[in-house]
Amino acid sequence: MLSLESTITTDSIVRVVDAFVDAIDLKSFGFAHVECQEEGRPPYHPSVLLKLYLYGYHYGIRTTRKLEREAQTNIEAMWLLSDLHPPMTGARTKCPVRLA
């Protein structure tokens, strides 16, 4: 059986992005929802969305729809997001980030 971990090379940019985002303190940068409330459906962690945006910036992916497609089809993006598929329509309305 093929695992995502074995398909990503050790010098891949997604490993750098993953290590970078995991090393920074998102709360000190003003990211909301770093600590989730106990009620309701929990939002995607800001680190997941930041990883996806940095991935998209590196590869020149400028639209949230294309980022959503990458998260569902690209093996590197799947590994980076731990096989989560955040719906970018919610990110587009709640967290408008212009990548261009």
Q: How many helices (H) and strands (E) does the chain have?
A: 6, 0
Splitting the chain (100 residues) into consecutive groups of 10 residues, what average pLDDT does each group show? Answer: 81 93 87 67 80 93 88 90 74 49
Token pair for residue 57?
A: 């910036």
pTM metric for this prediction: 0.76
Contact 48, 84 (CB under 8 A): yes
- Which residue's structure tokens are 């590196």? 58
pLDDT of residue 40: 67
Q: Which residues of 60-91 are buried (b: 16+ CB within 10 A; e: fewer)?
A: ebeebeebbebbeebebbbbbbeeeebebeeb
In this prediction, residue 23 carries a pLDDT of 94
